[in-house]
Structures are given as structure tokens and as C-alpha cells.
A and B are shown apart, each in its own frame.
Chain A
Amino acid sequence: MSAPKRTGVEKVQASAAQRPFISTRARSRRDRITKALVVPVGAFIIWATITNLSLVEPIFLPTPQKIVRVFWAIREVIPGAFWITIRMVAAGLLLGGIMGLATGLSFGYSKWARDLLEFSLDALRPVPLFALIPLFVLWLGIGMTPQIALVTLGVFLILTIQTTEAVRNVPHIYVRAALTAGASRFHIYRTVVVPAIVPHILAGLRLAVVGAWGLDVAAEFMGSQAGLGYLMLTRMRFLDTAGIMAIVLIFAVLAVGSDFLLRAFINRTTVWMQRSQDVGVVADILGTT
């Protein structure tokens, strides 16, 4: 090019013209996977190297092989603790999810319910639920009840807010169109609002699942005699860092795995509202790809 200075569009157009679209995508996919793995693999190599060269105290950071050995050592206690934790999280998610969805929908539907309850719930929202753990333990005793109650409350709050917000974000034009067609309020709610909020609610569910794991861990630390969190606490008392890390790893796999499954499910069910339709120059600038 003879012109010394080019504007943004020209630059991007020029670079786009150099490579055909399809092959760019295929190459950049492989390239992206490689790059994405650089950091985790690098971190693992550094970890393995410095711990095996005894550059750090094992109490701060044990060797990777030590963690594998710990897994083997505690293999018999893990399944029991695992199921108890899963049961608590699932029960809390189910109870809190149903309550939150019902309350959120009633907020959208009834002005009366909104006026009555929304202020209280809004005020409660920023309160750190963890501060309630001692009270929950006091009120509900030890065992699984306080954990389930805390997870339920947390999930309930998240889903109520997400559902209310979802209803608020329904494009007004849909409702107007239905009104023009003569639909009743209830009819609009059933055939326009509820279907329209499904994607948003599924996204809210993801938040709730993530929140549920966190609440469960914190609650188990405080007043539980069983479960993975409790197991971690006993490892901590023995200053067994490898044991702590092994259980952190289990929690990470559980949380990341459940989020992954949920995300796959969401992608499948909400194909019709993909926002990444707009690829190309703009998407690249905004980092959508």
C-alpha cells in the first residue's frame, strides 16, 4: 500500500482480505486451544518442579504426587462424605429453586406481592448469609438441616431476584403486541412472559448452583459432622495441606462439572437466542469471540 496511514476499517479489511474466513476459523481454533492450555500446564510444571526440588515447605505446597497419595489414603471416606455433600446441595437447590421461581413470578404478576415483599427482600439481599451460619446451627441443630437451610435461603434469594429481573427485561414490544391482539393479562403472562424469561432464568440457575456450592462449603465448616467440608476441616487441624488440596480439588471438579453440564444444557435449550451471531470486525473489537 502506498498510503502511509490507514484508518481502522481499512486496516481490518486489509487483514481480513489476506486470509479466507473458513480456514482462519479452523486454524484459530487449534491455536486458541493451545494458548488456553499454556497457563494451566505452565502452572502445573512450575508447581511440580519447585515442590520436588524442595524449594518450598511441603506444609505450604505439597508435591503433586503427594496429593495423589492422599487421595489413595482417604479413598474410603470420600464416597460417604461426597454423597452427604451432594445431597445437601441438591436438597437446598430444589427447595430454594422452587420457592425463588414462584416468588419471582408472583412479583412479576402481582403488584400487590411486589409492594409487600420486594422491599424486605431487597434489603436482605446484600446481607452476608454466612453471618447467619451460627444462628442456623443454633436453631436447627447439627446434622444436615442447617446446611440445607442455608443453601435453600441463598438459592431462594438469587432465583427470586433473577426471575424478577428477567420479567422486567422482557421486551416491552412483545407485551404490546399481545395487548394489541387482545390478550388478557394472565394470557400474556402464560404465553409471552414465561417463555421469554426461560433463558434468563437458566442463567440465574447457573449463578444459584455456583452459590449453592459456596454456601455448602462455608456451612459445613461451621457445624457439620459429615460431608466433604467437614473432612477438609479435620485435614486442616492436622495441618495436612495435601489433604486440604485434595478436597479443594474434589469441590472444584464438582462445581466446575455441574456448571459445565448446566451450561451445555442451556446452550442446547436456548439456541434460538444466540447473541454471538455477529462475528467479524466488531465482535473482535469487543472480544465476543
Chain B
Amino acid sequence: MDLRESSVENTAPPSRDPLARRLRARARKVVMALAVPFVILVIWFAVTNADLVNSVILPKPQRLFEVLSEGYHNLSATRVPFSEALPGAFLITVRMVAIGLLIGGVLGVVIGLLFGYSRWARDLLEFSLDAIRPMPIFATIPLFLVWFGSGIRPQVALIAFGVFLIITIQTTEAVRNVPHIYVRAALTAGASRLHIYRTVVIPSILPHVIAGLRMGVVAAWGLDVAAEFMGTQQGLGYLMIVRNRYLDTAGVLVIVFIFAGFAVLSDFILRATTKRFTRWSPRGANLGLVGDMLGSR
């Protein structure tokens, strides 16, 4: 009662219940965000169950679950239940992506920092790296296969190479984008170059490097899929190619969804981490009218 009286005293009729209003706005956002995927799912369901399209082109959504539960996977003359072949293939794929990310990520951060630190390293290597940067790495898949043989090595090498290029560039750019005023302030305070690097540059590039890592992870999944299509005898991508040969579109779709799910999940985890690390960064602090006009969140 006290509370209600005080709210009446405050007399702000439109914002009487800001919490409810915010909740309503949020609910509206969620509903709108889910409308598109939901409509697509309904159309998919309706079109396939009314037999309007060939099931090879687009199987029924419920077929996907059937494939998962009772489908078979023909692996070198032995029929393995799909549900048993999946976990193994999945683990191999995750291992390839993880090892590639680790190698490429560590190398990339080290080289990127070195570029920021040493003009000598920059002059020596940056031109070469810049020159190969726009090159489609996928075009080198056949070479990686010839060089690294079969097994998981060519995939890991390709992922490591791709991630390395991305992270190196992102780290170098991050160092370049450190606000000059920070460095000036540190110089004025008499800090040495190494000291500035350690206490000003590295902390301030962290958000940018993590953002670069997000790009690296997304690219790693893509590189992995493409590499697996070309030459592996195991892993999810290989499983997908085999399903494709049998024109088992439902099986292909199941694996596409698995890839999509894990790519999105890994990106989500990294994004959550980024948010935590970059809470202090200025963007997003300025909401309101201007923020709305520019579409900020």
C-alpha cells in the first residue's frame, strides 16, 4: 500500500509500471525474432507433408528424427546404425577444429604481437602475409592433401593455416587501433617501449583479439567442412558426403543441423566471453534516440 501511494505521488502515468513495459517490449522482440524461423518450419512441414515436393529434394521434418533413431550408415560394407556412427565422427571433427584453432590461434597472436612490437618483423613479413591474405585458402586444399596425406593431418593443417592468417591480421589491426592518446600518456609518464606494450597495448587489444578469435572459430568450422569434403575417411563432413551419395537428404540435413548447431554454440560462448571482457568499452553505452536511429542494441 505504501508503495502504491508513493507511486501515485510520483505521478508518472505512462511509466507507472516500467518493469511491465520493459517486459512487454522484450516479449514483443522475442516473438518477432522467432516469427521467421517458425513460419519457415511451418511451411516446410506443410509443403512436405502435402507431398508437394520430392522427398529427395526436401524430406519431411519428422524424417530427420527417424534417420537419427533408426537410420543406417553404410561404412565400408558394414552397416552401422546412424546414431552410433555420429558420435565418433563428431568427436573427430571437433578434435580437428580444436587442434587447428589452437595451433593457428597461438601462432597468430604471437606473430600479430610481434608485428606490432618490431618494425623489423613487420617490414620482413607483412608484405608477404598481406599478399597471400585475399587468396582463397580452399584452393590450396588439394595441395594440403598431397602434402599431408590422409587422416586428420591435412584438415588440421588447413584450419591452422586459415586461423593463423585471420588472427595475425586481427591482432596487428588491434594494435594499430589502440588510441594514440593512451600511448602518449604512457610516454609522458616516462614508460619504456616494452612497458607500454605490456601495460597499455596488450590489455587494450584484448576485446579486438577476442572478436578476431570469433572470426577464427567461424572460419575453422567452414575450413573443416570443406577440407573434409575433399579428402578424409572420417568425421562429420565425410559422413555427409556418404549420405549425399546415397541421396539421403534427411541424413545430409541432420548433419547440416549438427554443424550449424555447434558453430552457433561455439560462437555464442565466445560472444558471451567477449561481452564480459569488453563491458567497459564505450559502444552501446549511448542508447536512446540516437542509438535507435542507428540501430544500436
Contacts and interface: CB of A to CB of B under 8 A. Distances in A.
Interface of A: 7-9, 12, 31-32, 35-40, 59-60, 107-109, 111-112, 114-120, 123, 125-135, 138-139, 164, 167-170, 172, 175-176, 179, 185, 188, 193, 206, 209-210, 213-214, 216-218, 221-222, 229, 232-233, 235-236, 239, 241, 244-245, 247-248, 251-252, 255-256, 258-259, 278, 281-289
Contacts, number: 229
B264 to A, nearest CB: 5
A217 B249 CA distance: 23
Q: Name the residue in A59, A116, A134, A168 with the highest tally of chain B Cβ atoms < 10 Å from its Cβ.
A: A134
User: Is the contact region of chain A dominated by helix, strand, or loop, or is it mixed?
Assistant: helix
Contacts of B29: 115
Interface string B199-223: 0010000000000000001100110
B256 A132 contact: yes
B218 A252 contact: no
B9 to A, nearest CB: 34
Contacts of B294: 108, 167-170, 172, 175, 193
A175 B286 CA distance: 12
Interface stretch (B13-21, B68-76, B173-181): B173-181
B190 A172 contact: no
B178 to A, nearest CB: 5
Contacts of A210: 133-134, 136
Given A128-B263, A287-B172, 19 more contacts: A7-B192, A36-B127, A115-B28, A115-B33, A128-B222, A128-B260, A130-B225, A131-B240, A168-B294, A179-B289, A188-B293, A217-B139, A221-B141, A244-B143, A281-B187, A283-B180, A285-B193, A287-B116, A289-B119
Contacts of B244: 134, 138
Contacts of B139: 213-214, 217, 229, 232, 247-248, 251-252
The dominant DSSP class at the B interface is helix
Contact of A131 (B116, B178, B259): B259
Interface stretch (B34-42, B43-51, B103-111, B272-280): B34-42
A214 B138 contact: yes
A36 B142 CA distance: 28
Contact of A284 (B34, B119, B217, B221): B119
A285 B286 CA distance: 31
A251 to B, nearest CB: 4
B119 to A, nearest CB: 7
A172 B290 contact: yes
